[in-house]
Structure 1
Amino acid sequence: MWRAVIIEDERKIIQIMRGIAIWEELGIEVVGDAQDGQTGLELIMAEQPDIVITDIYMPVMNGLAMIEQLRERQFAGKIIVLSGYSEFEYARQALRLQVDDYLNKPISLTTMKEVLSKSIAELETVMNEQQQNERLKEKLMVYEPYVQRKWMNYVVTGARDTGFGDIEEVNRKFSAWDYKGHLVIVIEMVRTERISKLSIVDHNLFYFALSNIIEEIAAEGWPESELVELYSHHCALLLHVSGEGDGTEAEARVIKLTERIAHAVYSFLKIEIVAGIGGMKRQWREIAASTEEGFNAIYFKNNRLSKEHKIFALPDSLDKEQYQLYQELKQGFYPFKMYQELSEAVVHAQIDQAIAIIQQFIIQQDGINKIPIAYIRHFCSELWGLIANALSQAGIDHKQLQTNDEIYAAIEALTTAKEMEMWLIGKLQQIGEQFHANANVKHLQAVEFIIQYVHEHYQKELTLTGIADEIGISRSYLSHIFKKSTDETFNTYLTKVRMEKAKALIMEGKHLIYEVADMVGYKNVPYFSTLFKKYTGMNPTQLFETYNSALSSNIENNRTSPTYPAN
């Protein structure tokens, strides 16, 4: 309901105006009245009505002086002047003050209704615009983390960097990095049969758990850090280094941090990681070069920095064959940069773009035909693994195309780089046909956004209806494509994410059970415990006791032998 006030020096007129029927008919409530301009000004500022109806000639402060005060105070409501004076000077002053209507007494109810209806229509237009702006702001707030992640991805990988560094907001965001050093730790999950067989949902939960472990350890040991998701089974940890020096101390800290991450990942998830540490860079625009060095350190594996864990850096020098290969890999695209763009293209069903990325990469590698065929096959195998993983994220089973044995037999039969190019393009064309036949790719980006949104906001009250409103898709359709893409309902997936986070928090041993429940979005602790037991097979206290017992046993065993494979 709209709110109005009447400012009029004659009480009888106020009573007559309050008694007319059009207020209720138009959905207007008269919330106050006053008989002089000063009292009227105080009333208006206190009530902030939508509509002010005022006389001009009044004691203490006249109507025009009151309106002038309102304009100075940025009053945004409608002002209708109702005056018994028809002199031009009054009308001229009222127009200067931008009143919405200037009417001479007496006035008919029909005219009054028309004027009020016009004011309400204009108020509704303004209100709708404000609501749209608010919704836009809310959407921008929702999407801002997504944009920030993309920016971080561009900085770390160097992908799509044309014009990126010239964006004013980008330079503002990263200006705080101007007086720091930067290096990247590239982390690769060692692919096992267990990981290869994960469904899209389990893969996302697995990656979510991995990210939690890395971020929590990094936050303790290196607060100035960001974790960036990369393609397939890779991620990058960007570290910022303050202060001067030769970097020896920082290098030792980086190795220690990486060892802690490797040990924790193996302890929690029972998988190995391989880490490549890039070199220190002094400009944020050079960070991608540190990532390149990290990837190449993993590729060559000839400068190991840890006895217990697979942590590598590029050596000071390479043998002749390695040096030649390294120089070839540095031409044109960085391989990992191409991998990143290819993965995104396949995930989003942009097959023509994926083919173009491969063709452009091959064209820019002038010396690719000089690279030994064993490296070509290895490179092709890497690309196919990346494509297969991207297909899994898109909800497509790559085994519908060919079995793994058939795929790798075809790769082993390759004899030239051109054959590799044609084989990959042929496979991508088959994938394009498969995408075309699957309706569940229509809104892959929406499903991807939901999964990421759940991972970032699991502690809040989340509903599929609320998310559907944010991205402009009906709830029923979003529910359908989410289930079709993931084989899970939204609520089941949300529960899994919360339970995985709860497991990690409980095993940290830093929080009470009711605190863990609250941190993962449950106010009702018994309900949380019931869900947790259903998901894990034990209640939260049992998990904590079991984990601590196992940890104590491991510590005792470590006195004689490591728990992490040394090879």
Structure 2
Amino acid sequence: MWKVVIIDDDPRVLKGMKNAIPWEELGAEWAGESMDGEQGLALVRRTQPHIVLTDIYMPVMNGIEMIELLRSEQYDGKIVILSGYSDFNHARQALRLNVNDYLSKPVTIQTIREVLGKVIADLEGEQLKHAEQRQLEDKLLMYEPFVMKEWIKSVLTGTVTPELARLKEAEALRAKWEKQSHVVLGLHINRADKKPLNAAADQSEGDGAALIGVLSAVLLEEEQLDCEFIELHSHHKAVIVHYDRDVPVDEALKQIRGTCLRMIRRAASFPEYNVCVGVGTVKPNWQEIADSAEEAFFSIAANYSLQSNDSYMVEYSAVANRPMTMAGARKSVGHIKFCQQLLEGLQHSRLEQVRTAIEAYREKLEDIALAPQDIVMLGTEIWAILAYSLYDVGIFLDEMFPELDLKQQLSPISTSGQLLDWLLGKAELICGSQQWDENLKHKQAVEFMIQYIHEHYADNITIQSLSNELFISRYYLGQIFKKATGDSFNHYLTKVRIAKARAMILEGKLLIYEIAEKVGFKNVPYFSTLFKKHTGLNPTDLLK
């Protein structure tokens, strides 16, 4: 119920208003009355009403003085003035004090009903908006590990949106980063037989997943290393390393080189792959992390040979002065950022976003003379990234372009402009061919599924049970969910369970088998196997 107080020095007005206002109809209740501004001030302070109906000319303290004091005390309720005088100066003061309406007496009950109805409608709208905001904040808090992951990835790729830039969850991390220096390690993972990495419906079982788990484990073992491992796309991964600014750069780089070499040595147990690690330069400001990332991948490209099957580490400082080839073009035009923008546009069928990204990339490439072989290599790499990453959201380029001979199509292309024209043509076909219905019903269905997973991860959840709840076929619901999140339903559920389990393990209050049960696993060995697959560590390793 909306609480209303009435302040007027005329007892007839008080009695008449109290009896005539249709309280029940308006969903309101009378919360008190007073006959001067000083008593009215005390009444409002005591009852904290949603609405104040007040006169202006009253003994002891007038209505304007009372309102000024209330507003100075941050009272944000609605105020309606009922005055027997029409005074322009008072009306102007009322406007300054954020009064919701100014009515001259005598006023009819119908007018009062209409004014109160409008004020209450405004209150209900604000209440709904606050409820939605709280719900969004609760949801962001619930999904914080995943939201933060996207924020960190956007910093790395230089694609921070206004929404992500204002993300409250990142405030503490930004404050910490302000006191640190940063360097990015770029990881380029290739098959030794030169074939592109294959994606899989479940990323945890994709090509190179076991190797990536081992590389992640190396970072977790480095107790003194403050870092984040970021999945980019296909054969590109990255690590952002942070260290205190009072640590000498040479000392920090020595530790980083040691970590890189350990990753390469561990990768040697996977002879079907080679791992190239590029090291960007140290950046004193976290806003420059994306620059260090471009340098890291530039270092790999500048040193990369199609004939080499070796894993290696290379630092940007060692190759920064190489001639402007395709590798140089990558860094100067922001290749990592371009690939990320292109992927995001294609994943959501946003053709204008795709065109904008391609045109910005075209403008930066115009002044760079690339050899034909560099252009073919660039086109091949971009297409491989698209094929791998779009697979995860249900867009299969090999099915969409079954007769595509990439080498044959790229061979006649001799300029970067021609390459981007070719790429734009393919992007238009990809966006035009997507049949997913992204209407409100589907958006709400995915939000319901995500919320349900985070609230019931300990239960035996199946996509079939949610299909029954939402009246959408199991198969189609799976497609909608994968399109929106980039994950299959089961993989997303497992990620949530593992994230919750990891937090419980680090809290140290429960035994491993208790945690397994609390996150929905009855079989402890199976839980341990999945935990290691997703984190690179056994659950007990976190307790050491």
Whether TM-score is above 0.5 comes out as yes
| 2:114 corresponds to | 117
Residues 203, 209 of structure 2: 8 Å contact kept: no
Residue 381 (structure 1) aligned with residue 387 (structure 2): no
| Runs of 5+ consecutive residues of structure 2 not aligned to the other structure | 458-469
Structure of greater Rg: 1
User: After the TM superposition, which residues 483-502 of structure 1 pair with which residues of structure 2 at under 5 Å, given as runs?
Assistant: 483-485=478-480, 493=488, 496-502=491-497
Distance 2:327 2:491 in 1: 45
Q: Which sits farther off after the overlay, 496-505 or 152-161?
A: 152-161
Distance 1:359 1:256 in 2: 38
| 2:524 corresponds to | 540
Q: CA deviation at 1:10?
A: 8.7
Residues 40 and 209 of structure 1: CA distance in aligned 2, closer, same or farther (over 3 Å) = farther
| 2:43 corresponds to | 43
Residues 302, 314 of structure 1: 8 Å contact kept: no
Distance 1:378 1:155 in 2: 27
Counterpart among 89, 99, 102 of residue 100 in structure 1 = 102
Distance 1:353 1:441 in 2: 24
Residues 38, 61 of structure 2: 8 Å contact kept: no
| 1:436 corresponds to | 432
Deviations 1:16-42, CA, capped at 9 Å, x for gaps: 765557333443322234566654432
Q: CA deviation at 1:56?
A: 8.1
SS at 1:196 equivalent: coil
User: After the TM superposition, which residues 471-486 of structure 1 pair with which residues of structure 2 at under 5 Å, given as runs?
Assistant: 483-485=478-480
Q: CA deviation at 1:420?
A: 9.1
Distance 2:316 2:23 in 1: 83
Residue 365 (structure 1) aligned with residue 368 (structure 2): yes
| Letter matched to residue 432 of structure 1 | E
Distance 2:291 2:274 in 1: 25
| Letter matched to residue 24 of structure 1 | E
Distance 1:189 1:484 in 2: 29
Q: CA deviation at 1:184?
A: 0.6
Deviations 1:183-230, CA, capped at 9 Å, x for gaps: 111134446999614027768999899699959946974675455553
User: After the TM superposition, which residues 398-477 of structure 1 pair with which residues of structure 2 at under 5 Å, given as runs?
Assistant: 398-402=397-401, 410-411=406-407, 415=411, 417-418=413-414, 425-426=421-422, 429-430=425-426, 432-440=428-436, 459=454
Residues 18 and 366 of structure 1: CA distance in aligned 2, closer, same or farther (over 3 Å) = closer
User: After the TM superposition, which residues 137-152 of structure 1 pair with which residues of structure 2 at under 5 Å, given as runs?
Assistant: none
| 1:241 corresponds to | 243
Distance 1:95 1:254 in 2: 66
| 2:125 corresponds to | 128
Distance 2:28 2:276 in 1: 69
Residues 91 and 494 of structure 1: CA distance in aligned 2, closer, same or farther (over 3 Å) = same
| 2:279 corresponds to | 277
Residues 394, 485 of structure 1: 8 Å contact kept: no
Deviations 1:396-433, CA, capped at 9 Å, x for gaps: 21122455xx75x6527965652897577557535533
| 1:78 corresponds to | 79
| 1:314 corresponds to | 315
Residue 253 (structure 1) aligned with residue 250 (structure 2): no
Residues 49 and 359 of structure 1: CA distance in aligned 2, closer, same or farther (over 3 Å) = closer
The count of residues paired between Structure 1 and Structure 2 equals 491
| Runs of 5+ consecutive residues of structure 1 not aligned to the other structure | 304-308, 463-474, 520-524, 534-538, 556-567
SS at 1:440 equivalent: coil
Residues 184, 292 of structure 2: 8 Å contact kept: yes
Residues 5, 51 of structure 1: 8 Å contact kept: yes
| 1:559 corresponds to | none
Q: Which sits farther off after the overlay, 139-148 or 328-337?
A: 139-148
Distance 2:247 2:88 in 1: 75
Residues 56, 64 of structure 1: 8 Å contact kept: no
Tell me the percent identity: 19
| Letter matched to residue 251 of structure 2 | E
Distance 2:57 2:379 in 1: 88
TM-score by length of 1: 0.62
Residues 263 and 35 of structure 1: CA distance in aligned 2, closer, same or farther (over 3 Å) = farther
Residues 507, 544 of structure 1: 8 Å contact kept: no
What is the CA RMSD across the aligned residues, in angstroms? 6.1
| Letter matched to residue 249 of structure 2 | G
Distance 1:294 1:100 in 2: 65
Q: CA deviation at 1:5?
A: 3.0
Distance 2:376 2:336 in 1: 17
Residue 186 (structure 1) aligned with residue 186 (structure 2): yes
Residues 157, 293 of structure 2: 8 Å contact kept: yes
Deviations 1:478-518, CA, capped at 9 Å, x for gaps: 9997633456999x955533423544776896566968899
